[in-house]
């Protein structure tokens, strides 16, 4: 009888712990290893690109007031803080511009939220690159398989629910936990940290971009508790008051042979993923029509896109950056007006521009049964413009650029890194960081990689 069974863990805990314990770097294919490297590069690009953002500055204040042994670093700086605070601060920077990766299933979210927690823990124990690659692959497998199997978003639960589980199992790997330590860390991560989907409803607050970072912080904290000998509830999934009683009993098949990180989608645009296809369609149509000639615009999408980006009055009158980048009429109007959607599209001046308001008033959104049938395998949208003269123009996109079925190349990801980090790192340093990350499996101490990110 193994340690987990001896401790009386429920079957779901046993399955997850066994899955994590069997995970090895040697079993990963070169394609999976390369996919991890590109997603780490993409994650650092997203974070350093947001370094000067006001929410990132607030998060660094959290890091500055936390100190302890075995510290971790705030990316892009020399700030040393606790692993928990580093996980939160770096996670906030990763998400605040809404340009990090995503996964679409019955549930959905941003699995790279977990990277800040895994790297903070890895840095604190001086783990090597192979351990980090394996931990990230494991975390993505847990996160994405949960999304694939279980719809909790429509039941009122937010993505940190499964992010904290994936992250803590990845951390347990880099910290070389035993079966019992891993099981306790998982229980200590899940039991206190159920997250409400209200964070993504109505007018959106700063917390929209911080929730995933908080899950990583909680995962690090849970792992450290388990390392120190704290125990968690042994039936956190299947017991009375456990997860299955709260959300309903579900089968949760874990990946066998295929690693799901290769099926995640990278972003080219700093907006909610459900708006990517519509913006690419609008950018194409802009080549054929002058904004002054537009009479009306209809955006057809799938139900989840409509719910997230068009099913609330706040989406037609956004007052926060977080609401604007989750507003279909706003992002489509920005694309048509400016021919691009970038971080500069979400300044207060842009959000209060009369031209923006006038064009948004001409935009409507609805869900379409055919497009809904293509989701989540695709992320489709159709944009139709009717001109004042009565001419009709239509463009449909099923797989936006960066989708797993329309992927970014390595060159594309590196170009994104150069573009987003240029304000923090000079060309020589950017080249050095890229060279190191493309050889991440050869790195003996992950802290050396983190140090390279300092401006």
Per-residue pLDDT tens for 65-98? 999 889 999 999 999 999 999 999 999 999 999 9
Mean pLDDT, residues 22-43: 98
- pLDDT, residue 201, reads 87
CA-to-CA distance for 225 and 452, rounded, in angstroms?
A: 30
Q: What is the spatial distance between Cα 355 and Cα 341, in angstroms, rounded to a whole number?
A: 16
What does the pLDDT read at residue 7?
Answer: 67
**144, containing H or E segment:** helix 129-149
Q: What are the CA-CA distances from residue 444 to residues 122, 123, 125, 441, 447 (Å)? A: 11, 11, 12, 8, 9
Q: How far apart are CA 267 and CA 80, in angstroms?
A: 30
Mean pLDDT of 408-414: 98
Whether the CB-CB separation of 223 and 186 falls below 8 Å is answered with no
Three-state secondary structure readout of 6-65: HCCCCHHHHHHHHHHHHCCHHHCCHHHHHHHHHHHHHHHHHHHHCCCCHHHHHHHHHHHC
pLDDT for position 355: 97
Nearest to 89 by CA among 53, 122, 125, 124: 53
Distances (CA, A) of 209 to 39, 101, 139, 303: 18, 13, 20, 22
Instruction: Using a pLDDT cut of 70, give the percent of the chain over it.
Output: 98
For 264, list phi and psi in degrees, rounded to 5. -80, 160
Share of the chain residues as helix, strand and coil, in percent rounded to the nearest 5: 55, 10, 35
Residue written as token pair 């149509």: 285
Dig out the tokens for 211 from the structure. 């929730």
What is the pLDDT at residue 245? 96
User: What would the mean pLDDT of 234-249 be, rounded to a whole number?
Assistant: 96
Give CA–CA dist 121/29, Å, rounded.
Answer: 24
> In this structure, are residues 327 and 341 in contact, taking their beta carbons and an 8 Å threshold?
no
Which of 285, 415, 271 lies closest to 341, judged by CA? 271
Mean pLDDT of the chain: 96
Prediction pTM value: 0.95
CA 118 – CA 133 distance, rounded (Å): 10
- Residue 2: is its pLDDT beyond 80? no
């Amino acid at each position: 009888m193994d340690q987990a069974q001896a401790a009386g863990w429920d079957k779901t805990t046993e399955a997850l712990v066994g899955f994590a314990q069997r995970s090895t770097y040697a079993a990963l294919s070169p394609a999976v290893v390369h996919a991890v490297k590109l997603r780490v590069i993409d994650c650092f690009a997203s974070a350093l690109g947001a370094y000067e953002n006001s929410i990132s500055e607030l998060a660094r204040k959290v890091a500055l007031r936390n100190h302890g042994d075995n510290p971790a670093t705030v990316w892009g700086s020399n700030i040393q803080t606790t692993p928990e605070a580093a996980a939160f601060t770096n996670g906030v920077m990763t998400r605040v511009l809404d340009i990090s990766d995503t996964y679409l299933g019955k549930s959905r979210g941003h699995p790279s939220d977990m990277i800040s927690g895994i790297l903070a823990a890895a840095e604190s124990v001086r783990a090597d690159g192979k351990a980090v690659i394996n931990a990230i692959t494991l975390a993505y497998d847990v996160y994405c398989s949960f999304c694939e199997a279980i719809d909790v978003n429509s039941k009122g639960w937010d993505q940190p629910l499964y992010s904290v589980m994936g992250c803590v199992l990845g951390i347990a790997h880099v910290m070389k936990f035993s079966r019992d330590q891993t099981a306790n860390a998982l229980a200590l991560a899940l039991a206190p940290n159920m997250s409400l989907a209200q964070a993504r409803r109505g007018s959106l607050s700063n917390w929209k971009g911080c929730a995933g970072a908080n899950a990583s912080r909680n995962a690090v904290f849970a792992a450290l508790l388990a390392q120190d000998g704290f125990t968690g509830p042994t039936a956190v999934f299947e017991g009375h008051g456990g997860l299955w009683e709260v959300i309903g009993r579900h089968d949760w098949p874990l990946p066998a042979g295929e690693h799901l990180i290769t099926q995640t989608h990278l972003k080219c645009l700093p907006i909610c993923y459900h708006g990517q296809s519509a913006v690419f369609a609008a950018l194409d149509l802009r080549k054929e029509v002058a904004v002054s000639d537009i009479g009306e615009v209809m955006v057809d999408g799938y139900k989840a896109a409509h719910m997230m980006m068009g099913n609330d009055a706040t989406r037609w009158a956004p007052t926060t950056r977080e609401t604007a980048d989750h507003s279909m009429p706003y992002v489509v109007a920005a694309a048509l007006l400016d021919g691009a959607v970038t971080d500069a599209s979400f300044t207060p001046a842009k959000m209060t521009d009369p031209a923006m308001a006038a064009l948004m008033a001409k935009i409507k959104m609805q869900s379409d049964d055919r497009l809904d049938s293509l989701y989540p395998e695709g992320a489709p949208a159709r944009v139709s413009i009717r001109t004042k003269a009565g001419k009709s123009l239509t463009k449909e996109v099923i797989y936006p650029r960066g989708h797993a079925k329309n992927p970014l190349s390595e060159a594309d990801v590196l170009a994104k890194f150069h573009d987003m980090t240029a304000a923090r790192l000079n060309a020589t340093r950017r080249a050095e960081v890229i060279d190191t990350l493309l050889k991440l499996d050869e790195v003996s101490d992950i802290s050396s990689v983190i140090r390279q990110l300092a401006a």
